[in-house]
């Protein structure tokens, strides 16, 4: 949808009703009650007829919406009005080419007084008829239709097709005056956002050319900040840095000059004297790099544009892509991968204040807070998107959901992933992964459409390697006969390597992916497969073959009294107690059932519950299926079996320690550290530890 039309100055295509009430300073010529007093007495000449038109009821309703509810930020009025001026200049330039008229120095000038703001351009201008037509009817869709659509549910997002940017001036002004000429005849339009407006013929202003427009806003008392040049500089830098025509602001600056010190008789000393200087200052010095052909832009220009646009003087971009779309959607874009994690994302990876993607329409900044333009896992991508086809609400602040938006989003994702893939293939990937690896794993979890590609971009900590590797590398180095990808989760690499499940992997000669953060485990579980190979939790894998199972049955029968003793001793702490031959050096281990939750994931879920103000996550009870497994060949297990048979008083403490040891090495935590230490001390002293309270195990 085109946001701007090509009418002079881009005022809404207002027109009077079929028979508007018209009042002149020579009397009523037609229509209703005299309302001249509404507009004051400001005219160019007492003998010049002043014509007054009334807005009808539908327009008054629209004006109320615009002023009171359409825009969430009053400051956008400057964006709208400078855009209108640029449109008028653009049209005059176009006509100068088609009609062979000279026009080469078009521009916009902005000047203030303590309570007014004036925007002047030497663009196409308007005739009297165009003034009345363009400022009397909202867009070409009809005032009545506009009002009817709004009346259904007061949803301003329904009116994206109506051009009302000019009236944003009434957000900050209680009176607006337009002086304009297209053919040498000057006219003034004036309104106080009431029930009508006046049009009067005026003399050509001394400081204006024969063609152009000057818009004066009489600011409301609570909007006088917009009469200050520093505030206007800030807004012009934000919204209008890339407009094609020069925007000059009348500024007052303090300059410091070195002059001779009159108190110095030698005349050699100097002193600094402040001097206030008023002058026109150019606001839009930056060039819209994204509008140029990529082959015409040098690498240093891309880097300089990145630093100046995103205020990142301390890093150079790792990668950029410059492209355009044509056909069903027209779009020009320039995307960057930053050289380091942006500061605003360092504390919160999805910080809402991190506004890294800027949307422009015809070089005019619209917004940088469109969540639907790119998925959040690519929030670190910085760049410019310029398109006339994206549908915005009439305030141009809300991006409408549409087929066009879907196409643009897919293209931005594709170009971003292509950049990341190029970095991976170029060998410069470690720096990228250190800064942005977490975002890619979030993408694995959230972007089902691109999960296969994102999975290939992930790097993982490995059990047998110091460097992080991709799953492609893992699969290529798999031992013959291995048909699954195994992972172990924990809070650190050291904790993962301590897990008893590593003993079974080493026995087989297999390597493990180590999930050292909760996000890692969520990502691998979301993948499920990679290159047609299942990704499984090594702690839940059944490692025994038929011979091992036969041996397990035999050892289970031998250790049955000890197993039954532990079941009764531990009670609800475990779902079951059994025997396994997969352990080699550990006396015991804890294994979760097929649908159980790993200890690191349990801690993550519990932390989420606390953050939400809950004492405990209700899911944990159903997802905690701990099975204590004993190594029948280990001397500690056999000693415990002998203690049970001899009905030793230390059997309870010894059994608790077997469980505590399994919990710690398997990644769980012990809440009652005091009870654990007393049991250990009791065993070390060779004494009895009966009556010592049990340690409470927490995930």
Q: Are 178 and 188 in contact (CB under 8 A)?
A: yes
On whether 80 is known to bind a ligand per the annotation, the reply is yes
Q: Are 257 and 272 in contact (CB under 8 A)?
A: yes
On whether 163 is known to bind a ligand per the annotation, the reply is yes
- Closest listed residue to residue 110, CA positions, set 131, 84, 72: 84
Which of the 8 DSSP states describes residue 131? H
- Closest listed residue to residue 561, CA positions, set 642, 661, 658: 642
On whether 161 is known to bind a ligand per the annotation, the reply is yes
Positive or negative, the CA dihedral 652, 658, 659, 660 is positive
Cβ neighbourhood burial of 105 (10 Å; 0-12, 13-18, 19+): exposed
Q: Are 485 and 533 in contact (CB under 8 A)?
A: yes
Q: Which residues does residue 497 pair with via DSSP β-bridges, in sequence order?
A: none
On whether 83 is known to bind a ligand per the annotation, the reply is no
**Helix and strand counts by DSSP (H, E) for the chain:** 20, 26
Q: Which two tokens stand for residue 334?
A: 């320039």
- Closest listed residue to residue 361, CA positions, set 322, 392, 336: 392
On whether 5 is known to bind a ligand per the annotation, the reply is no
On whether 447 is known to bind a ligand per the annotation, the reply is no
On whether 126 is known to bind a ligand per the annotation, the reply is yes
Q: Are 357 and 370 in contact (CB under 8 A)?
A: yes
On whether 134 is known to bind a ligand per the annotation, the reply is yes
Q: Are 286 and 301 in contact (CB under 8 A)?
A: no
On whether 330 is known to bind a ligand per the annotation, the reply is no
Q: Measured in whole angstroms, how far is the alpha carbon of residue 489 from the centre of its chain?
A: 30
Q: Are 233 and 137 in contact (CB under 8 A)?
A: no
CA dist 556 and 469 (Å) reads: 40
Which of the 8 DSSP states describes residue 662? H
What H or E segment, with its residue span, contains residue 57? helix 57-65
Q: Which residues of 629-659 are buried (b: 16+ CB within 10 A; e: fewer)?
A: bbbbebebbbebbebbeeeeebbbbbbbbbb
Q: Which residues of 219-239 are buried (b: 16+ CB within 10 A; e: fewer)?
A: bbeebbebbebeebeebbeeb
Q: Where are the beta strands (DSSP E) in 505-661?
A: 513-515, 529-530, 533-537, 576-579, 588-592, 626-630
On whether 165 is known to bind a ligand per the annotation, the reply is yes
On whether 84 is known to bind a ligand per the annotation, the reply is yes
CA dist 60 and 54 (Å) reads: 10
Q: Which two tokens stand for residue 556?
A: 């289970």
CA dist 123 and 466 (Å) reads: 66
* In the block, residue with structure tokens 């107690």: 577
On whether 164 is known to bind a ligand per the annotation, the reply is yes
Annotated binding site for ATP: 80, 84, 121, 126, 134, 141-142, 161-166, 213, 396
Annotated binding site: 80, 84, 121, 126, 134, 141-142, 161-166, 213, 396
């Amino acid at each position: 949808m085109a946001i701007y039309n090509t009418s002079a100055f881009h005022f809404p295509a207002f027109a009077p009703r079929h028979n508007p009430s018209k009042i002149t300073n020579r009397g009523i010529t037609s229509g209703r009650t005299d309302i001249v007093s509404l507009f004051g007495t400001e005219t160019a000449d007492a003998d010049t007829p002043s014509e007054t038109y009334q807005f009808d009821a539908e327009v008054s309703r629209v004006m109320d919406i615009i002023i009171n509810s359409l825009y969430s930020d009053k400051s956008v009025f400057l964006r709208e009005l400078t855009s209108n001026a640029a449109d008028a200049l653009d049209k005059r330039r176009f006509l100068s080419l088609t009609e062979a008229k000279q026009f080469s120095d078009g521009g916009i000038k902005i000047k203030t007084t303590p309570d007014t703001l004036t925007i002047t351009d030497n663009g196409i201008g308007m005739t009297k008829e165009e003034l009345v037509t363009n400022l009397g009817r909202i867009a070409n869709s009809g005032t009545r239709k506009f009002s009817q659509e709004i009346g259904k549910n007061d949803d301003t997002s329904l009116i994206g097709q109506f051009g009302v940017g000019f009236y944003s001036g009434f957000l900050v002004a209680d009176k607006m005056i337009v002086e304009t000429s297209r053919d040498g005849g000057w006219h003034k339009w004036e309104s106080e956002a009431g029930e009508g407006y006046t049009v009067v013929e005026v003399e050509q202003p001394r400081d204006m050319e024969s063609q152009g427009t000057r818009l004066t806003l009489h600011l409301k008392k609570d909007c006088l900040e917009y009469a200050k040049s520093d505030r206007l500089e800030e807004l012009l830098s934000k919204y209008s840095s890339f407009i094609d025509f020069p925007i000059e602001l009348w500024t007052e600056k303090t300059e410091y000059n070195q002059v001779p010190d009159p108190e110095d008789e030698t005349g050699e000393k100097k002193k600094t004297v402040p001097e206030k200087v008023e002058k026109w200052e150019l606001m839009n010095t930056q060039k819209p790099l994204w509008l140029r052909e990529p082959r015409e832009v040098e690498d240093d220009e891309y880097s300089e544009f990145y630093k100046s646009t995103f205020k990142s003087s301390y890093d150079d971009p790792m990668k950029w892509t410059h492209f355009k779309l044509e056909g069903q959607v027209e779009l020009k874009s320039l995307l960057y991968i930053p050289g380091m994690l942006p500061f605003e994302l360092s504390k919160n990876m999805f910080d809402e204040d991190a506004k890294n993607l800027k949307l422009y329409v015809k070089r005019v900044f619209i917004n940088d807070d469109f969540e639907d333009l790119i998925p959040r896992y690519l929030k670190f991508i910085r760049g410019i998107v310029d398109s006339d086809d994206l549908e915005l609400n009439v305030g141009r602040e809300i991006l409408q959901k549409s087929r066009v938006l879907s196409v643009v989003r897919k293209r931005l994702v594709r170009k971003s992933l292509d950049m990341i893939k190029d970095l991976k293939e170029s060998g410069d990937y470690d720096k990228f992964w250190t800064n942005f690896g977490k975002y890619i794993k979030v993408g694995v979890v959230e972007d089902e459409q691109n999960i296969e590609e994102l999975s290939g971009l992930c790097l993982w900590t490995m059990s047998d390697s110091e460097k992080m590797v991709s799953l492609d590398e893992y699969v290529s180095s798999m031992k013959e006969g291995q048909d699954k990808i195994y992972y172990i989760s924990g809070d650190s690499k050291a904790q993962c390597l301590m897990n008893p499940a590593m003993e079974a992997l080493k026995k087989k000669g297999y390597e493990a992916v180590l999930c050292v953060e909760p996000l890692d485990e969520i990502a691998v579980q979301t993948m499920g497969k990679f290159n047609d190979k299942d990704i499984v939790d090594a702690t839940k894998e059944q490692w025994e073959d038929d011979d091992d199972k036969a041996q397990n049955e035999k050892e289970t029968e031998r250790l049955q009294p000890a197993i039954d003793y532990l079941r009764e001793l531990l009670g609800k702490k475990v779902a079951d107690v059994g025997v396994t031959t997969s352990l080699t050096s550990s006396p015991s281990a804890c294994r979760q059932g097929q649908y159980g939750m790993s200890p690191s994931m349990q801690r993550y879920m519990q932390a989420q519950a606390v953050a939400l103000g809950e004492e405990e996550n209700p899911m944990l009870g159903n997802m905690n299926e701990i099975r204590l497994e004993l190594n029948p060949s280990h001397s500690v297990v056999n000693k415990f079996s002998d203690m049970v048979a001899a009905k030793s008083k230390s059997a309870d403490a010894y059994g608790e320690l077997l469980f505590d040891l399994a919990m710690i090495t398997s990644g769980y935590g012990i809440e009652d550290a005091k009870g654990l230490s007393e049991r250990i001390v009791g065993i070390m002293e060779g004494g009895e530890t009966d009556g010592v309270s049990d340690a409470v195990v927490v995930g």
